[in-house]
């Protein structure tokens, strides 16, 4: 029998033909007729080969999550380079990528695909974990982090409490309340929604992913717990795969520094409205920035301005206040310095004032957006306000009064037309716009 098959193989060069010969138990001429009658094998289009390393899946569970991995592998999320004739993944060294997302393979929408931090910082942090905890150059990150005292406390905990996040570098957790921590657990989107403040529905793996995300960059957590569908000024969180997260796409504010006067006035007014909502909202959380730059805010295609990068946002609970006791803020361990300097100074929440974020915006963003755009009398009023605001507002009142003053100057400068799709045609019929 073996000799017959070997002989047959020498006569039948086509592997498909050989399978037919063996299956039908017939001679090659009979198989050829059957092959001719069978439908042709469809041509398989070239496809991307996702590497676990590119996505960061090889580092899980020291990663964000896996909720959107299927869409990557089914090519329902595509990088812009996928649309070219040469299929290749973009460089892994980039911090963020522009991509396309679909639910039906027909209509596509733009998304941002982002890393928690740069690949260099990730690699440095991974090395720090191994050298600090196991005294080796490389190791299983998950095994090393599981041995830490902090994570062992997480494993035993039924509820996320302030002592479990003490010393984490994220501004979100600098002054945590129990109410805020309960919200994180209840709305953590990388696990099935249990609607519970208790961590019973989180596996050991889920707990490590949540802790790792909070330690490296709390941006995806803020998008999950304060979703855009409830009116919060953040882009929609769509999911994570390894160390990449996917969210709705926005253009950074820097792209609009050269915009027409009416566009600049509109964006400045939206910026003030975002700051106002961050300071005063129904949930009694006070949001403040520890840093702003030209990429902190972004603009959707309809002209609506949102917070594009929430990694520098701190949150103070005006209802409960911070529930960390003295000394817990300064606690340091490996999770305190994965991507930041372990010796970085702690900033007390008591030092944050209501005008904190407005002063930053007046110093770093509004001059680039509004300078040299308007006729002299109006421009002089804007410039005078920005100079006073950048110095800390002086004795001219608080942030609310200052924002109302600038808004009063800017409102007459914006127009109502289709360029501002987020408020058109509503602006024709409402004074709100």
**pLDDT exceeding 90 applies to what percent of the chain?**
67
Give a three-class secondary structure readout of the chain: CHHHHHHHHHHCCCHHHHHHHHHHCCCHHHHHHHHHHCCCCCCCCCCCCCCHHHHCHHHCCCCCECCCHHHHHCCCEEEHHHHCCCCCCCCCCCCEEEEEECCCCCCCEEEEEEECCCHHHHHHHHHHHHHHHCCCCCCCHHHHHHCCHHHHHHHHCCECCHHHCCCCCCHHHCCCCHHHHHHHHHHCCCCCCCCCCEHHHCCHHHHHHHHHHHHHCCHHHHHHHCCHHHCCCCCCEEEEEECEEEEECCEEHHHHCCCCHHHHHHHHHHHHHHHHHHHCCCCCEEEEECCCCCCCEEECCCCCEEECCCCCEEEEECCCCCCCCCCCCCCCCHHHCCCCCCCCCCCCHHHCCCCHHHHHHHHHCHHHHHCCCCCHHHHHHHHHHHHHHHCCCCCCCCHHHHHHHHHHHHHHHCCCCCCCCCCCCHHHCCCCC
pLDDT for 344: 62
* Nearest of 372, 356, 234 to residue 305 by alpha carbon: 234
> Lowest-pLDDT range, 151-165, 184-198, 254-268?
184-198
Split at pLDDT 50, 70, 90, the class of 60 is: very high
> Lowest-pLDDT range, 62-66, 135-139, 162-166, 215-219?
135-139
Average per-residue pLDDT for the chain: 85
- The stretch 106-125 carries a mean pLDDT of 92
Query: Which tokens in the block code for residue 213?
Result: 């995300």
- pLDDT score of 424 more than 60: yes
Residue-wise pLDDT for 347-388, tens only, equals: 677 788 889 999 999 999 999 999 999 999 999 999 999 999
Domain boundaries, the chain: 51-246, 251-321+348-423
pLDDT for 11: 43
- The stretch 57-79 carries a mean pLDDT of 92
pLDDT for 42: 40
Higher pLDDT, 87 or 380: 380
- pLDDT score of 25 more than 90: no
Residue-wise pLDDT for 234-264, tens only, equals: 999 999 999 999 999 999 999 999 999 999 9
pLDDT for 30: 45
Q: Are 88 and 79 in contact (CB under 8 A)?
A: no
pLDDT for 343: 65
Handedness of CA 214, 220, 222, 226 (dihedral sign): negative
> Lowest-pLDDT range, 5-9, 79-83, 164-168, 321-325?
5-9
Split at pLDDT 50, 70, 90, the class of 48 is: low
> Lowest-pLDDT range, 80-89, 106-115, 201-210, 213-222?
80-89
Higher pLDDT, 266 or 37: 266
pLDDT for 195: 83
Q: Are 75 and 89 in contact (CB under 8 A)?
A: no
pLDDT for 349: 77
- pLDDT score of 330 more than 90: no
- pLDDT score of 315 more than 90: yes
Split at pLDDT 50, 70, 90, the class of 37 is: very low
- Per the DSSP assignment, residues forming a β-bridge with 77 are 101
Out of 1.10.3470, 1.10.510, 1.20.1050, 2.60.120, the CATH code matching 251-321+348-423 is: 1.10.510
> Lowest-pLDDT range, 32-46, 117-131, 184-198?
32-46
- pLDDT score of 27 more than 90: no
- pLDDT score of 28 more than 50: no
């Amino acid at each position: 029998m073996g000799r017959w098959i070997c002989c047959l193989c020498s006569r039948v060069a086509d592997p498909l033909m050989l399978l037919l010969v063996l299956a039908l138990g017939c001679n090659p001429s009979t198989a050829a007729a059957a092959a001719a009658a069978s439908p042709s094998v469809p041509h398989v289009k070239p496809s991307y080969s996702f590497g676990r390393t590119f996505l960061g899946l090889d580092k899980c569970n020291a990663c964000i999550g896996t909720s959107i991995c299927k869409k990557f592998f089914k090519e329902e999320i595509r990088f812009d380079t996928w649309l070219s004739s040469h299929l290749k993944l973009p460089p892994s060294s980039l911090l963020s990528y522009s991509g396309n997302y679909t639910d039906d393979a027909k209509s596509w929408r733009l998304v941002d695909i982002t890393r928690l931090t740069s690949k260099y910082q990730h690699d440095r942090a991974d090395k720090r974990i191994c050298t600090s905890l196991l005294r080796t150059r490389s190791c299983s990150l998950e095994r090393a982090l599981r041995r830490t005292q902090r994570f062992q406390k997480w494993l035993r905990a039924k509820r996320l409490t302030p002592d479990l996040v003490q010393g984490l570098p994220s501004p979100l957790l600098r002054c945590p309340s129990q109410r805020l921590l309960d919200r994180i657990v209840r709305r953590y989107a990388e696990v099935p929604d249990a609607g519970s403040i208790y961590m019973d529905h989180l596996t050991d793996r889920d707990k490590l992913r949540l802790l790792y995300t909070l330690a490296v960059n709390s941006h995806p957590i803020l998008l999950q717990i304060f979703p855009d569908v409830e009116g919060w000024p953040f882009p929609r969180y769509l999911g994570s795969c390894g160390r990449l997260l996917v969210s709705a796409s926005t253009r950074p504010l820097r792209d609009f520094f050269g915009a027409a006067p009416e566009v600049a006035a509109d964006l400045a007014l939206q910026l003030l409205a975002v700051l106002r909502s961050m300071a005063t909202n129904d949930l009694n959380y006070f949001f403040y920035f520890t840093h702003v730059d030209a990429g902190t805010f972004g603009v959707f295609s309809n002209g609506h301005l949102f917070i594009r990068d929430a990694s520098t946002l701190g949150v103070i609970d005006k209802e409960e206040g911070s529930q960390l006791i003295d000394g817990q803020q300064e606690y340091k361990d490996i999770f305190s310095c994965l991507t930041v300097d372990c010796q970085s100074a702690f900033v007390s929440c008591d030092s944050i004032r209501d005008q904190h974020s407005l002063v930053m915006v007046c110093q770093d963003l509004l001059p680039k957006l509004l300078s040299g755009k308007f006729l002299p009398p109006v421009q002089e009023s804007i410039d005078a306000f920005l100079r006073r605001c950048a110095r800390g507002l002086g004795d001219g009142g608080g942030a609310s009064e200052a924002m109302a003053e600038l808004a009063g100057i800017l409102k007459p400068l914006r127009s109502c037309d289709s360029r501002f799709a987020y408020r058109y045609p509503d602006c024709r019929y409402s004074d709100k716009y």
